Structure 1
């Protein structure tokens, strides 16, 4: 396939492109094309903006993973706007290009997140679960609604409601593992909140599966089938690193340190990939112990 890719220099984008660079051809949209080429290589094509794409119809597929990292900074009003605009604006530009094309791409895969559902406690969440109204839902709901404007009988739309991606090459796991590596790791808050996670290999393979599965459309939870509590995850992470899991960071400390964004960690979501499993995808890493063992054996 000839694929237009946004967010190609991110954790998921790099992993996907590196795995399939000999199978597909890629054009990566990046404001800094020179830096993108340093990261991804000179064998790809690059565009500094979506506006540079004269005819999006030359692409078989569009994969849209662009967006400001959601948990790197405190959620000030300014940062919330940056988080939203980075997703909404890019998706809007792509959707506009697709809808105005006489021969649009056959598939549009666009990012979202399990934050779409809001705080659900320990309730098991699938794609049909009604969301709770809060910032992460507002962010993801509008993001998805914009992408849906590109859906048509000519363009199949897939929305990726992604959980916490576990990877040996950075991302959230690096931050979660650091206290354990220093010997001061432990549970966060009550420890009873759920973590919906996915191994980077399954993330990449699931995107590829949905890319080729012509009967698959709509929103899919990209999470492993076995979410775990923070307490269980912390113990498994400690075991994988051969470190103790002795401490607990109280909720109020997390709130002081992170502000409103701490809610993503302190509340959690018990999300399962119902539609992905029903579509026939088989997980390589269905359990967190297997995922972490793979990551830390590398």
Structure 2
């Protein structure tokens, strides 16, 4: 084993494997939170457990006799599990091109490792049975660190597979049950985090859905049957559209707010809304309503002040974005269309949005409070937001600005504790305000260190009932949490094992 070439190939395998796990499995694909990937997670868990054994053997032991045969069997099992994993991935999800290339390189590199190591293992197999301690300096240290890493992810993937069945969201069609049957609804931003669930609910309830997207390839994300268009010119003047839901826009809380980024954030919203206005003008039959996206950022940075729809705005870039968007939407009311501007809070769901970015660090004990933790977070669970959109389409009494957030906003410190409890992890770290401000500038100050204490006055007056009004039970439900061992059910926000989760 004292072969620099072999250890170099092992090092490459470790680096490519870490890239695949962190960038693909944890990053873009987020496999641990996708119930459809239960089998793949189990395969990853078993494979990583075997990798941990292999790395420890490579770094510290010569396996002689029967132990060499056992190690050979484990190496062969790795090949079989990997082949099974490739088949499972192709059957259950669409792999990005980077993951396919990385898998090819991993397979080729593993073959080269076997070509160099199998002759050594063959020689060892004829020696008397023994586990002979060895040490290869920094190579052994690298093997140990790698074994600990893959062992950690092995346990995590197996636990995530066990959790998968508790992540079921129920029948999506029930979310839009209040809509009249067989309506034609145009959705912009339908491939986004909110839009995908809305489209799934509408299609499940047998509505006819048209989705406007800038990227036709993203149609693979959508529930079908659905019509996907890349231009509103594809809609004929005589076509009947009953309602429009406008959610399109570049993400606000991603990347630094350079002058170019600020312009793109505003333009992406205003231009789409203006294009919808032009569409509505030429339609022979106008839609009944436009449900337009906006955000609680409209109120600016207001500290502890409680904000209903009647509250005045405050200065902030997030206000400027929402104000321009709402102004473009309000002009459509002149066409005889009822316009509702949903001022949406932080949307929580494990499939995307802010919460999805926090789950991995919190699961590995890296959850932290932002700044002093006293800033307000006005939030809404994603399925509740879909229900709000459906209610806004169906309820003619709703118009103008409507706060789409749960009735009980929380401070960041309380949210941090609630998420840590749901995941059974500590969250003792704090991200100092000055660090976030220095790294992220205005984006960090406005979206992370400041907030709005918003109440959904119009929705509550209209009799809308939130299925998830409180943060802690909601986080337990959507993360599939179980009570911590030894904690009485009466003292836990999470359902007991086997308890029926509230389905929506």
Which interval holds the TM-score relative to the shorter structure?
A: over 0.9
Larger mean CA deviation between 14-23 and 193-202 belongs to: 14-23
Return closer, same or farther for 1:92/1:184 CA change in 2, 3 Å cut-off: same
Cα distance in 2 between the residues matched to 1:70 and 1:28: 22
The one of 468, 471, 494 equivalent to 1:285 is 468
| Number of aligned residue pairs | 297
Residue correspondence of structure 1 range 110-149 to structure 2 within 5 A: 110-149=292-331
Return closer, same or farther for 1:94/1:21 CA change in 2, 3 Å cut-off: same
SS at match of 2:465: coil
Cα distance in 2 between the residues matched to 1:258 and 1:56: 48
Larger mean CA deviation between 98-107 and 187-196 belongs to: 98-107
Larger mean CA deviation between 4-13 and 169-178 belongs to: 169-178
TM normalised by structure 1 equals 0.96
Return closer, same or farther for 1:41/1:200 CA change in 2, 3 Å cut-off: closer
Q: Contact 1:163–1:223 at 8 Å: present in 2 too?
A: yes
2:130 aligns with none
- Across the aligned residues of Structure 1 and Structure 2, the Cα RMSD in angstroms comes to 1.4
Deviation at 1:178, TM superposition (A): 3.1
**Is 1:274 matched up with 2:457?**
yes
Deviation at 1:42, TM superposition (A): 4.6
Q: Contact 1:56–1:97 at 8 Å: present in 2 too?
A: no
SS at match of 1:291: helix
SS at match of 1:62: strand
Residue correspondence of structure 1 range 1-298 to structure 2 within 5 A: 1-23=183-205, 24-33=207-216, 35-55=217-237, 58-152=240-334, 154-263=336-445, 264-297=447-480
Q: Deviations 1:265-296 (Å, cap 9, x if unpaired)?
A: 10111111111111111000000011101111
Structure with more of its chain in helix, by fraction = 2
Structure with more of its chain in strand, by fraction = 1
- Any gaps of 5 or more consecutive residues in structure 1? none
Cα distance in 2 between the residues matched to 1:50 and 1:241: 43
SS at match of 2:332: coil
Q: Contact 2:202–2:209 at 8 Å: present in 1 too?
A: no
Q: Contact 2:237–2:282 at 8 Å: present in 1 too?
A: no
Cα distance in 2 between the residues matched to 1:4 and 1:149: 19
2:19 aligns with none
Higher relative contact order (CA 8 A, sep 6+): 1
Larger mean CA deviation between 49-58 and 111-120 belongs to: 49-58
Cα distance in 2 between the residues matched to 1:108 and 1:262: 32
SS at match of 1:148: helix
Larger mean CA deviation between 148-157 and 248-257 belongs to: 148-157
Q: Contact 2:346–2:379 at 8 Å: present in 1 too?
A: yes
Q: Deviations 1:117-140 (Å, cap 9, x if unpaired)?
A: 100001111111100122111111
Q: Deviations 1:60-83 (Å, cap 9, x if unpaired)?
A: 011100000111111111111111
Larger mean CA deviation between 49-58 and 168-177 belongs to: 49-58
- Bigger CA radius of gyration: 2
SS at match of 1:150: helix
Deviation at 1:56, TM superposition (A): 7.3
Q: Contact 1:56–1:98 at 8 Å: present in 2 too?
A: no
Deviation at 1:52, TM superposition (A): 2.5
Q: Deviations 1:129-155 (Å, cap 9, x if unpaired)?
A: 100122111111111011011114731
Cα distance in 1 between the residues matched to 2:430 and 2:317: 27
Cα distance in 1 between the residues matched to 2:395 and 2:334: 16
Q: Contact 2:377–2:451 at 8 Å: present in 1 too?
A: yes
Cα distance in 1 between the residues matched to 2:235 and 2:315: 36
Q: Contact 2:203–2:223 at 8 Å: present in 1 too?
A: no
